Amino acid sequence: MIAVLYFLIIAPSIKKQKKEKKFMASVKKGDRVITKSGIHGKIVELNDKDFTCVIETGAGKIKFERAALSVEASAKLNNPSEKK
């Protein structure tokens, strides 16, 4: 029972957390991203002290926490042929 719980719930969660952490560390200026709230933009500034980024959108520049970036949506935006 514990093994089933681990492989169905815990392992996928750990894998997703690692993927998000890797994505947050790999973003750079000029990357096109989508936030979890659906805002599209391009990264113009990264701040490693407080883990924020400034995104340029059609309306102007907005400062976001890096955790607000959507890993899946941003990956699809940059690699349209990439599947989950």
What pLDDT digit, counting tens, does each position of 15-73 carry? 999 999 999 888 999 999 999 999 999 999 999 899 999 999 999 999 999 999 998 88
* Residue 49: CATH number of its domain: 2.30.30.140
Q: How many folded domains does the chain comprise? A: 1
**Helical H segments across the chain, by residue range:** 2-5, 11-26, 71-78
83 domain-assigned: no
84 domain-assigned: no
Query: What predicted TM-score, i.e. pTM, was given to this entire model?
Result: 0.75
CB atoms under 10 Å from CB of 33, counted, come to: 24
Element holding 64 (H helix, E strand) = strand 60-65
52 domain-assigned: yes
CA dihedral sign, ordered 14, 17, 19, 25: negative
26 domain-assigned: yes
Residue 37 lies in domain = 2-78
Closest to 39 in 3D by CA, of 53, 25, 56: 56
